[in-house]
Amino acid sequence: MAYLELKHVRKVFGETVAVEDFTLDIQQGEFVSFLGSSGCGKTTTLRMIAGFELPTSGTITLNGRDVTFTPPNRRNVGMVFQSYALFPNMTVAQNVGYGLRVAGKPKAEIDQRVREMLALIQMEKFAARYPSQLSGGQQQRVALARALAIRPQVLLLDEPLSALDAKIRVELRQEIRRIQQELRITAIYVTHDQEEALSLSDRVVVMSQGRIEQVGTPTEIYNNPASEFVARFIGHINLLPVHLVSVSADHLSVRFGSCMLRVVQPEFSPNGAAPMLAIRPETIRLGTGSDQDNRLVGRVESVTYLGAVIRLQVHVEGHSLSVDVLNERTLSLPRQGEDCPLHFSPRACWLMPSANT
């Protein structure tokens, strides 16, 4: 039995269905992210796990105990808020020790634990400061320590980094991961930043309109998106309308405009609908490649510098194809309006059913 189980959880606010048929098992010590666009029900799900909202139907089981209707203060769940939510009238040490104080722990034990926690977030020097004397990043670390001090069964984080600037965000997310690994704590992390979700998590739950679209490891989510929604939502992708021509033992043949392309996809099963060929921009290369590769020719529409990569929009067979090229100093790129050959491996692309036909 899984550590944290959500079964057919549904939440309705008046007319809006915020969460629909949400079923998920989370193992002890796992780091799971909820990823999805704004308003898709991530926060609501998290708050139901924390006990701040009651599900309209469904059950939540934590460590073998049905906690669906347990009030939040008896769930032993740690929560980190987007806005830090530190108590402004307490010092850092008092904030971190508050959960233990409420539980009536002896002072010596509280002090000891507070020291441990401050060491964990490397903020021993700030114990006597008030939250208003800390930077946003420091406040969020304290909030993390405060949530961890009570040794929660699950740590819930609701977009903990979105109020911080980009550099601190990356630093702090690595720190969160380190601490989670060190304490082997079960964590659920809500974000709408896919880079965060992919880099931190053991598993990612992609949500859309209150439903789970896909659950999987970051690699699965990125390389094998289960639906067009996930494919489009995570990373950048080219989806080309193609016709399936033939299926042979080791590959599929499809026609894209006037070109024939090969796809190596052993698990493919045709289901009648017109398929789409999915290919990530970074797997398309410039040049003619070898005989094994799929080859295309197109006209460059635009060249955009993104820093590490350069994105080309190439017009091929009536469609605009994104192509990402790693930025090297000696690189000579085709100019806008020039023709250029492209190639990609049959293993780099896959067919998926088209959603809207």
Partner 1 sequence: MKELRAARLYLFGAPIWDWLGLLPFLAFVLLFLVIPSANLFAGAFVNRTGVFTLENIVVFGNPFVLRSYLVSLQVSLVTALVGGVFGFLVAYAITLGRAPGWMRGVIMTFSGLAANFGGVPLAFAFIATLGRTGFLTALLKGICFPAGESEVCPFNPYDYGFNLYSVTGLVMTYTYFQFPLMVLIITPALEGLRTEWREACESLGGSQLHYWRDVAFPVMMPSLLGAMLLLFSNAFGAYATAQALTGGSIPLVTILIGQQIRGDVLNNPHEGYALALGMVVVMALTVWGYAVLQRRTTEWLRR
Partner 2 sequence: MAQVTLPTQRRRSWRFWAIFWGVAAMLYFFVPLYGTLDFSLRMKRGEISLLAYEIVFADPRFWEGFRYSAIMALVTIVVSALIFVPTVYWMHLKLPQARPVVELVTILPFIIPGVVYVFGLIRTYSRPPLQLTLQPFTTDILIVAGYVVLSMPYMFRAVDVGMRSIDVRTLTEAAQSLGASRLQLLVQVILPNIRVAVLGGGLICFATVMGELVLASFLVRPALGPYMQLLGLAKAYEPAALAIISFALTWLSLGALQLLGRGNVPQQMAGR
Ligand X SMILES: Nc1ncnc2c1ncn2[C@@H]1O[C@H](COP(=O)(O)OP(=O)(O)OP(=O)(O)O)[C@@H](O)[C@H]1O
- Contacts with partner 1 by CB under 8 A: the residue count is 32
> What token pair was written down for 341?
């050959």
3 binds, among partner 2, ligand X, partner 1, none (CB under 5 to 8 A by kind): none
43 binds, among Mg ion, partner 1, partner 2, none (CB under 5 to 8 A by kind): Mg ion
Strand partners, 326: 309
Q: Is 33 in the site for Mg ion (CB under 5 A)?
A: no
Point out which span in 111-119, 128-136, 192-200, 225-233 binds partner 1 (CB under 8 A). 128-136
78 binds, among partner 2, partner 1, ligand X, none (CB under 5 to 8 A by kind): partner 1
**Would you call 201 helix, strand, or coil by DSSP?**
coil
Residue with Cβ nearer partner 1 (13 or 87): 87
CA distance 258 to 250: 23
For 252, residues 6+ apart whose C-beta sits below 8 A from its C-beta are 244, 246, 262, 263, 264, 265, 268, 351
Residue with Cβ nearer partner 1 (45 or 194): 45
Phi, psi of 76 (to 5 degrees): 55, 60
Q: Give the pairing of strands 259-263 and 319-326.
A: unpaired
Burial of 308 (0-12, 13-18, 19+ CB in 10 A): exposed
Amino acid letter for position 229: F
For 254, residues 6+ apart whose C-beta sits below 8 A from its C-beta are 242, 243, 244, 245, 260, 261, 262, 263, 275, 277, 351
Residue with Cβ nearer partner 2 (71 or 287): 71
214 binds, among Mg ion, partner 1, ligand X, none (CB under 5 to 8 A by kind): none
Segment 47 to 76, residues that bind partner 2, using CB under 8 A: 54, 69, 71
Segment 36 to 95, residues that bind Mg ion, using CB under 5 A: 43
Q: By Cβ distance, which residue is nearest to ligand X?
A: 43
191 closest CA partner among 182, 183, 200: 200
> What token pair was written down for 168?
């601190």
Q: Is 76 in the site for partner 1 (CB under 8 A)?
A: yes
Location of structure tokens 């491996």 = 345
Beginning with the edge strand found earlier in the chain, give each strand of the sheet holding 252-256 in spatial order: 243-247, 252-256, 259-263
246 binds, among ligand X, Mg ion, partner 1, none (CB under 5 to 8 A by kind): none
Q: Which of 60, 67, 79, 188 binds partner 1 (CB under 8 A)?
A: 79
Q: Is 274 in the site for partner 2 (CB under 8 A)?
A: no
Residue with Cβ nearer partner 1 (76 or 112): 76
Q: Is 214 in the site for Mg ion (CB under 5 A)?
A: no
Contact 311, 281 (CB under 8 A): yes
Q: Minimum Å distance from CB 56 to Mg ion?
A: 18
CA distance 188 to 160: 11
Within 180-308, strands assigned E span 186-191, 203-208, 211-216, 238-241, 243-247, 252-256, 259-263, 275-279, 285-286, 294-305
> What token pair was written down for 127?
């114990």
Q: Which of 7, 29, 52, 170 binds partner 1 (CB under 8 A)?
A: 52
Q: Minimum Å distance from CB 13 to ligand X?
A: 3
Q: Minimum Å distance from CB 54 to partner 2?
A: 6
38 binds, among partner 1, ligand X, partner 2, none (CB under 5 to 8 A by kind): ligand X
Residue with Cβ nearer ligand X (155 or 286): 155
69 binds, among ligand X, partner 2, partner 1, none (CB under 5 to 8 A by kind): partner 2
Residues binding ligand X (CB under 6 A): 13, 16, 18, 36, 38-44, 192
**DSSP per residue over 202-224, as a string?**
SEEEEEETTEEEEEE-HHHHHHS
Point out which span in 141-149, 224-232, 267-275, 313-321 binds partner 1 (CB under 8 A). 141-149
Binding site for partner 2 (CB under 8 A): 54, 69, 71
Binding site for Mg ion (CB under 5 A): 43
